Structure 1
Amino acid sequence: MAQTVLHKANTRGVADHGWLKSYQSFSFAGYYNPERINFGALRVLNDDIVTGGMGFGEHPHDNMEIISIPLEGNLQHKDSMGNTATIKAGEIQVMSAGTGIYHSEYNADPENPAKFLQIWLFPNKRNVTPRYDQILLNGNDVKDEFVQILSPNEDDAGVWIYQDAWFNMAKFNAGINKTYTLNKEGNGVYIFVLKGEVEVNGEKLETRDGLGIWETASFEVKADTDAEFLLMEVPMKF
């Protein structure tokens, strides 16, 4: 029988630094909850709002797969690999920090806030040569389907990372019901609702709720309203 864990939006950690407001699904920085350290290989899921013209100064990472998904606005990125780029809503950015990188991120709009998901996964291969990728997502306008945006495979849809993980973005119209089938035995899926209301195996989720499900080969997702959500399939043991 499938195992589940429900994280309601109002139970997340909150950090308000003035220029940054961060809602944290798992323990991060000043937020610590021993029951919410990670979901399998998923270590960080931060729902961040960055004030216009502000951002994260240069800081280091190593041996972590780092995924950024802008939801509104855009972010200017600069790193020690020599990459300078702007990532916008509808795109996805990935970095394999490997042996170590430094990077900074700023809201390129001086007036309007930027909203993005900051996601960290433990890698399945340590001390790799750092790498960077950024793409415009195909299928941004696709409705009522699971649209793959990340996988372990270089020649597959979306970006790739050093982990047996698959991410799908979905935009369902109200009433749509679909079965998600996991890609690999031993994986679990963390569903994060961006907008609207959905049911996962009968469990009701609202905007910004998260649900982890594992020990199952598949599960049902039904949209009770028009809804957008992210499915993050990750190894539960790594």
Structure 2
Amino acid sequence: ELGTGNETEQAANAKAENAEGFHGNAVTSAVPLLRPFLIRFDAAGAWFLPEHGQPRIGGRMAIGGQVIMGDRRVTVVSVHLENRTAPTGRADQTRHLLDAIDRYDAEAPVLIGGDLNTLTATYLERHADPAAWQARIAAEPDRLMRPDRHEPLFAVFAEHGYDWRDANAFDKPTQRRPAGDPTPIGHIDWFFTRGLAASAPATLPAVLPDGSPSADHEALVVTVRVK
């Protein structure tokens, strides 16, 4: 990332320079992570353009590897899909991701987690007229919490044998906004499983020791076992 985040983040860090430039997703593991891989998506968000804010080199990606559970290898993947595209664009990214996973190992069980940006509309629809977008959400109050009717990526996951219903809690949004920000929030972070039994999903507050937010997303947890 060439800049220092969005307007809120810039204000919080006093517009300090970004000396590292790191921006992305990762997989952390308490056991060895085997055969690590990186899957790049098309740079659909045009993040390099400075007029869009938060200028970055590159685009969204997925990163993963395999861990051993008992006597089985399990593929684990962290993914971040594009928010500055249409739902069909995210479906295309999902198809690319799942095809790549099958080429990597079509037999191993899979756990996928990350920010899929299931925002149910294009970037322009959500930002060109904020009042209209808020009215649209008010008319469909479950739209952002149950986005599968508006985001075709869920059908792509189902076609490839993945499930999400037992792996996610639906009791609260996974997004977090600054105090006073009226932008609608929803469930945009997800776990997807194939060949795994999921249980005890939960959405937990992502806060620092002093209680302040550590991110603009909450933390998701789930327990899985090999079927």
Q: Same fold (TM over 0.5)?
A: no
| Higher RCO (CA 8 Å, separation ≥ 6 residues) | 1
Q: Which has the higher strand share?
A: 1
Q: Which has the higher helix share?
A: 2
> TM-score normalised to the size of structure 2?
0.31
Q: Which has the larger radius of gyration?
A: 2
